[in-house]
Amino acid sequence: MLRRVRPGWYVLLALVAYALVVTLMLRASQAQVRDMRMAQAGAQQSAPAPGAPAAASGEGASATGALAATPADGLWFPLPGAHLPSDDANLPGAPRDYRNGMSQGFDFYDGDCAIPVSFGTPVIAAAGGEVVRADTAYVEMDETTWTQLLSTVARDGADAGQLDRLRGRQLWIRTTDGRVLRYGFLSGIREGVTQGRKVYRGEVIGFVGNSGTGDGVAGSTRNPRLHFEVWQGDTFFGEGLTPDDVRLQASSLFSGP
């Protein structure tokens, strides 16, 4: 004779079945999360590291190079291994009495930026971008023109056109975030680096010189330096800041190398 099943057993069986279903659902959910994490990790490993130029193929890839890191990753110093100038007079915002104005950029001199700076030292792109100006056909002023220019700016201050002449041979790069990097006093521009050319961060684009200065006008290679400005619209980096504030903000502007 069959034994009568008590009602409590039905409840127990239902609880066991519920526990089994919940366990299976949890394991499926955990497996899904694990698969998602593995996929994300694979994507991160295959992505280029910050600051690395995108992979290029074919002959001439190194010449035209895809745009490298944007300034959001930090600019590189335009002279590899350099530090910020130690002399406040070589920071943006420093007074320039000879032209009744102020500097709009960094001036890198030998003995003031942690590395040797000599005539012809290679200069690199501080960020990837497009060359929007390259003075490949630059002609130095004669001494009479130079003397007259200095006399005018000392009295009235230098306007935009006069400042342009005082920077000597220049190269400008518009970065991928819209800023413009201006290089001045160059002795030359690397062959093939012309207006419209795409450059990558770290690429050699020119060479230290003294163009636009009294030594350059005289045909001498003395007192070489690199002038470097960072512009966002009509404002240059460091405008209106004290030297201490320039150094503080420059610590996040530059990331190396």
CA separation for the pair 149, 103 (Å, rounded): 17
Q: Which residues of 166-195 are buried (b: 16+ CB within 10 A; e: fewer)?
A: bbbbbbbbbbbeebbbbbbbbbbbbeebee
CATH number of the domain to which 188 belongs:
2.70.70.10
Domain identity same for 188 and 122: yes
Which pLDDT value is given to residue 121? 98
Same domain, 226 and 160: yes
Residue 55 belongs to a domain: no
Q: Residues 38, 131: one domain?
A: no
158 HSE (CA, 13 A, CB side): 22
pLDDT digits 0-9 by tens, 103-114: 999 999 999 999
Unique residue bearing structure tokens 């003031």:
112
Mean pLDDT of 132-159: 95
Same domain membership, residue 177 and residue 122: yes
Sign for the pseudo-dihedral over CA of 132, 55, 51, 177 = positive
pLDDT of the residue at 257:
77
pLDDT at 24 over 80: no
Residues 39, 103 share a domain:
no
pLDDT band of residue 155 (cuts 50, 70, 90) is confident
Number of domains in the chain: 2
- Cβ(79)–Cβ(204) below 8 Å: no
Mark whether 252 and 167 lie in a shared domain. yes
For residue 18, give its domain range.
1-47
